[in-house]
Amino acid sequence: MARAGLTAERLTQAAADLADEVGVENVTVAALARQFGVKDASLYFHLRNAHDLRVRIALLALAELADRVAEALAGRAGKDALVAFANAYRDYARRHPGRYAAMQIDLDPETAAASAGIRHAEMTRAILRGYRLSEPDQTDAVRMMHSTFHGFVSLERTGGFRHTPRPTDESWARALDALDAVLSNWPSR
């Protein structure tokens, strides 16, 4: 029987908070059970295993980020939309490092297809239509944008830019300027 007050949603939220504190790789069913003051077995009514828990964190994070990006994009187009999307992405990764790391989990195709990852792709493609990109260039540009955002955020999170005194915000702004220039002047085939 399920312990009163424990739900899959409540456990997922607590696990996401824990991931932000200690890293997603350290989120286990045992660690979560300790937070609730229950035995591990009490959680298996709601969760299959630690991998299931991490996938739930990833799905929560994808949905949260999609909501933030959608808010940031409202009424914007072109470079303004690109910058709003990028800043929402970076801000989320900074505020929620464990959740962000969970979003990098390789989801099975069925889970991925049902996730908010689809919303991310749709919003990215909407931005790219403003640059007049069609397929297959859109797919290439989506990959380039994600690589730029993820690469910058990942290096920033791990201290990869500490070797120079230039503020990372200035480099971020220039990277977005460069990305806008590339998208505006996409090479023809």
CATH number of domain containing 69: 1.10.357.10
DSSP label of 48? S
**What confidence category does residue 2 fall into, taking pLDDT thresholds of 50, 70 and 90?**
very low
Q: What is the pTM of this model?
A: 0.91
Q: Looking at residue 4, what is its pLDDT?
A: 54
Q: Would 117 be classed as within a structural domain?
A: yes
SS3 label, residue 96: coil
Residue 35 lies in a domain: yes
In a domain, 2, yes or no: no
Those residues with Cβ within 8 angstroms of residue 177's Cβ, 6 or more apart along the chain or in another chain: none
Q: How far is CA 162 from the centre of its chain?
A: 23
Does residue 162 lie within any of the structural domains?
yes
- The reply to whether 189 falls in a domain is no
C-alpha–C-alpha distance, residues 107 and 37, integer Å:
30
**Residue at 94 is within a domain:** yes
Domain count, the chain: 1
Q: Is residue 152 part of a domain?
A: yes
Q: For residues 21 and 6, what is the distance between their CA atoms, to the nearest angstrom?
A: 21
Contacts of 17 (CB under 8 A, 6+ apart): none
Residue 55: domain span: 8-184
Condensed to tens digits (0 to 9), the pLDDT of residues 8-21 reads: 899 999 999 999 99
